[in-house]
Structure 1
Amino acid sequence: MRRRPVDERGVVGGTDGLLAGVLVAMVGTLMIANVWSVIAARTDADAAVREYLRVYTKADGPGSGAARAEAAARAALVASGRSDVAVSITPPDAETFGPCGLARVTVRLQAPLVGVPGFVGRGSKTVTAAGAEVIDPWRSMERGTAWRSGGAACGG
């Protein structure tokens, strides 16, 4: 039986394929990590909005309610590990506070992005979450100047 000579044909093509595979895997991993960072930030911002509205709609007045609600929203962010992130909270309009008033709040925070040191710099993406909730119509509380009396609870 005759043996074929061993040579190195195809070795270069094989290493190029391995390099391309590693690069595709690295880029894919970075993309998944960045998408996950934005999704996690959005989830945390939604939780902060829920906490803000939960506290604000149970408050006795717009001033004290906004202060306690902002503290609750920031506490929700700290509980999720975002204590060092810059947060911007747009509070509801105090004029509409009262039974059946609609409280709208917006929370903006920065989602850090993953980068490759020396190649791609780290950055961040602004994530925004907004929510609205109707204030309880059957409670006694301070009313804003835009509140209208009369009629059924939350009726036209």
Structure 2
Amino acid sequence: MNKITYRKLVRESQNTNIFGYQDEEYVNEIKKTKKNKYVLISHPKDLSKGLIPIYLLSFINGKRYQAHMYIVFKDNTMLIADIAVLGKKAFNRGYGTLLIELALEIARIKDVSKVTGKMAFSSDEHKKRQIKFYSKYGFQIDDKFNLKLILK
């Protein structure tokens, strides 16, 4: 465990305005990635709204990296509106996994029956990574790269 990184994340988690939104109370949790690294993941405490942002903060070699996911709820469906890991050094570190797992947990809390979205990719390699990623969670992907997951 990198004690300096962990301490930085603890300090950040105590910052009530870490991602710049003062009008909402956020839940900040330090979690471990699949690669056994610590990150800070944050989402609004109030899950009753139609749009819920999920933010992730990490430090790689002392440099700050962020990832986010925006999920929208309507008519018993959760739409993955956007998911992004910012900075190539932050790719393949398990950040997307933490984001999607938290989003699916929130979907279950909100008693959603279906999750949808649309893949957006910048290269064939990126497309292949996304197909592997979403398939791992049971998403169906059609020929137009629309995503669908039935939860119940």
Is the TM-score greater than 0.5? no
TM-score by length of 2: 0.29
Q: When you count strand as a share of all residues, which structure comes out higher?
A: 2
Q: Which has the higher contact order (CA 8 A, sep 6+)?
A: 1
